[in-house]
Amino acid sequence: MAVDKLVEEYKRTHPKSGELHERAVKVFAADGTTHRVRIRSPYGPYITHAKGSKKWDVDGNEYIDYVMGHGSLILGHSHPVIVKAVQEQMAKGVHYGDNHELEVEWAELIQSVMPSAERVEFFACGQEANLIAIRLARIFSGRRKILRFVLNYHGWADELVLEPSTPGIVADEVKWIPYDLDRVEEELATGEYAILMTEGGGARMSGQIPLDFDFVRALPVLAHKYGTVWLLDEVVTGFRDTPGGFQSLVGVKPDLTSLGKCVAGGLGAGVLVGRADIMEVLSPKTPKNRQVIRTGTWNANPLTCAAGVAALKLYQDGEPQRKASELAAYLREKGNQVFKEKGIGGWLYGRSITHVYLGPFDFKPDETMPPTKDVDKIMRLETKVRLSHHLIQRGVSTMSARMFILSCVHTIEDIDQTIKALGDSLDAMIAEGTIS
Ligand SMILES: Cc1ncc(COP(=O)(O)O)c(C=O)c1O
C-alpha cells in the first residue's frame, strides 16, 4: 500500500532516529516527544545540529528548516552575532542573581522599536507574560473575567489554552467568542471583563485564520468604551514582519503586549510591555492590597539578555524582516503556481510565516485569504500531516505542513528546492489517493 511505502522508506532512511525513538518512548509519555508538534508517525527525526536555514539528523539527512525554533529564529540557526554574544556572556556568568546593565539595554531597545512599551517586564517564556497580564488587568479594572477569541492560543496554562474543552483545565472566568465585533461589544457591555486578549496576526502563528486590520483597529476602541484592558499577544508576531510588530503594521497601540520567541534571538524568554499606569501595580510603592509581587528565577538572566540585545540590534533597521518577507512572498508565488498546475485546491498565504490552505475553494483566493469564517477548512489537518510526511522525506521540515516559517537566511535555492519537493509530494499524494 502506498501509505506503507512512505513509512517504510522513512524507516529505511532514518534508522538511528528510530533507535532514539525507542529509547524516548520509555521516558517521555507523549509518544517519546517533548512537544505536541513533534509527535510524528512513525517518529520524527532526531536532530544533531543546525546552521542558517538547515538542520541535520543523526542519520545524516539534511533538511531545509521551516520550523525555525517554533518561530523564534527569524535570524536563522546559530546566527554568528548571537553565538558570539552568548559565548562571551557565558564566560562572564549566566546568572548574577542581581541587577545588570544588559537587562536595561534590552528593555530600552524594545522600547525604541515599540512605542506602546512604556514599561517592560521580563519573564521565562511567552505564556508567563500573558499570565501576569491577566493579573495586572484584574487589579487595574477591579474585574475578574477574560474575553478571548476561538482558536487563539496564548500558552498551555488554564486560561490560555486553545480550546475551552481542554481536559483538566479550570477556566470558569474565561469566555471564548468568534471573530465578530457585535459579539465583542455584547460581551464587553456586560462590564464584567478585565481583559480582552487577541493573538497578533490572527489565530495561530501570525494568522492561520487571518485577522482583518479594521477588525483589529476596532478592538481597543470597544475595550476602552467598556473599561477593559486590551492585550495584543505578539509572542509570534513581535519583530517578525516589522521591527515594531503586528501593532505597527495595523497602526494600533495596545494597552499591553506580550512578546516571546524572536525577542531573545532564539533563547527562551517572555516579555510584557505596555502602559505605565497598568504596570504601576508592580511598584513596591503601590498599596499592598493592589501590589503584584514580581518573582521568577530566569527573568532577565544575563545569558538571555545578551542574546536579546544582540538580536534587537539586528532587528532595528528592519532588514531581517524585509528579507524574510521577500523570501516568503517568493515561496507563495511559486508554491501557488504548483497548486494551480496540479489542479489542487491549495493556497499559500500570509507574511513571513506563510500558511497552507488545503481544500476546495468556495471563495476567491488572494494574498490575505482565507475568509476568517472558514475556520474548519483552514484547520483541517489530516491532509496537511500527510503532506508534511512527504515533505520531510524530501528534505523539507515543517510544523505538520500547516505553515512555512521563514528566516532572513533562507535562500532562493532553498525555496526552489522546497517548491520541487512540494510538487513531488503532491504528485505522490495524487498517486496514492490522499489528495485530489
Ligand atoms: C501566540 C502565542 N502566545 C503565547 C505563546 C506561548 O509562548 P511560550 O511557549 O514561550 O510560553 C505561544 C507559543 O507558541 C504563541 O504562539
Q: What is the pLDDT of residues 21-55, one digit of tens each?
A: 999 999 999 999 999 999 998 999 999 999 999 99
Question: In sequence order, which residues have a C-beta less than 8 Å from that of residue 165 and are 6 or more positions away?
Answer: none
Report the pLDDT value the prediction gives residue 210, as an integer from 0 to 100.
Answer: 87
pLDDT surpassing 60 at residue 3: no
CB 143 within 8 A of CB 153: no
pLDDT surpassing 70 at residue 378: no
d(CA 238, CA 284): 29
| Three-state DSSP class for residue 386 | helix
Question: Which CATH number does the domain 80-315 belong to among 1.10.1740.10, 3.30.70.270, 3.40.640.10, 3.40.50.300?
Answer: 3.40.640.10
| Ligand 1 atom with the shortest distance to the CA of 71 | 14
d(CA 290, CA 281): 6
CB 335 within 8 A of CB 417: no
d(CA 157, CA 154): 8
| Ligand 1 atom with the shortest distance to the CA of 237 | 1
CB 136 within 8 A of CB 279: yes
Residue with cell 478592538: 219
**What's the average model confidence in pLDDT over 194-210?**
94
At 382, is the pLDDT very low, low, confident or very high (cuts 50, 70, 90)? Answer: confident
Instruction: Identify the residue whose C-alpha is closest to ligand 1 atom 2.
Output: 154
Mutation to probe ligand 1, out of 35, 127, 134, 403 (largest number of atoms < 8 A from CB): 127
**What's the average model confidence in pLDDT over 41-70?**
98
CA 177 to ligand 1 center in whole angstroms: 20
Angle 173-174-178 (CA atoms, 0-180°, nearest 5)?
Answer: 150
At 371, is the pLDDT very low, low, confident or very high (cuts 50, 70, 90)? Answer: low
Report the pLDDT value the prediction gives residue 397, as an integer from 0 to 100.
Answer: 98
**pLDDT > 70 fraction of the chain, expressed in percent and rounded:** 94
How far does CA 252 lie from the centroid of its chain?
Answer: 20
**What's the average model confidence in pLDDT over 222-241?**
98
pLDDT surpassing 60 at residue 232: yes
Alpha-carbon torsion 292, 297, 302, 304, what sign? negative
CATH of domain 2-77+319-432: 3.90.1150.10
At 374, is the pLDDT very low, low, confident or very high (cuts 50, 70, 90)? Answer: low
| Ligand 1 atom with the shortest distance to the CA of 128 | 11
Report the pLDDT value the prediction gives residue 345, as an integer from 0 to 100.
Answer: 85
At 13, is the pLDDT very low, low, confident or very high (cuts 50, 70, 90)? Answer: very high
**pLDDT > 90 fraction of the chain, expressed in percent and rounded:** 88
At 283, is the pLDDT very low, low, confident or very high (cuts 50, 70, 90)? Answer: very high
pTM of the model: 0.96
Report the pLDDT value the prediction gives residue 358, as an integer from 0 to 100.
Answer: 86
List where CATH 3.40.640.10 sits in the chain.
Answer: 80-315
Each residue's pLDDT tens digit, 271-280: 999 999 999 9
CA 405 to ligand 1 center in whole angstroms: 15
Instruction: Identify the residue whose C-alpha is closest to ligand 1 atom 9.
Output: 126
Instruction: Identify the residue whose C-alpha is closest to ligand 1 atom 13.
Output: 155
Ligand 1 pocket, CB under 6 A: 70, 125-127, 130, 153-155, 199, 205, 233, 235-236, 260, 270
User: Length of the chain in residues, anyone?
Assistant: 436
Query: Within 13 Å of residue 323, how many CA atoms lie on the same side as its CB?
Result: 14
CA 377 to ligand 1 center in whole angstroms: 23
At 70, is the pLDDT very low, low, confident or very high (cuts 50, 70, 90)? Answer: very high
CA 259 to ligand 1 center in whole angstroms: 9
| Ligand 1 atom with the shortest distance to the CA of 234 | 1
Helices (H) and strands (E) in the chain, counts: 15, 16
Decide: residue 2, CB within 10 A, 0-12 exposed, 13-18 middle, 19+ buried: exposed
d(CA 128, CA 160): 10
d(CA 352, CA 328): 5
Each residue's pLDDT tens digit, 306-356: 999 999 999 999 999 999 999 999 999 999 999 999 999 888 999 999 999
Mutation to probe ligand 1, out of 38, 206, 236 (largest number of atoms < 8 A from CB): 236
List where CATH 3.90.1150.10 sits in the chain.
Answer: 2-77+319-432
Report the pLDDT value the prediction gives residue 282, as an integer from 0 to 100.
Answer: 96
More confident: 365 or 250: 250
At 379, is the pLDDT very low, low, confident or very high (cuts 50, 70, 90)? Answer: low
At 376, is the pLDDT very low, low, confident or very high (cuts 50, 70, 90)? Answer: low
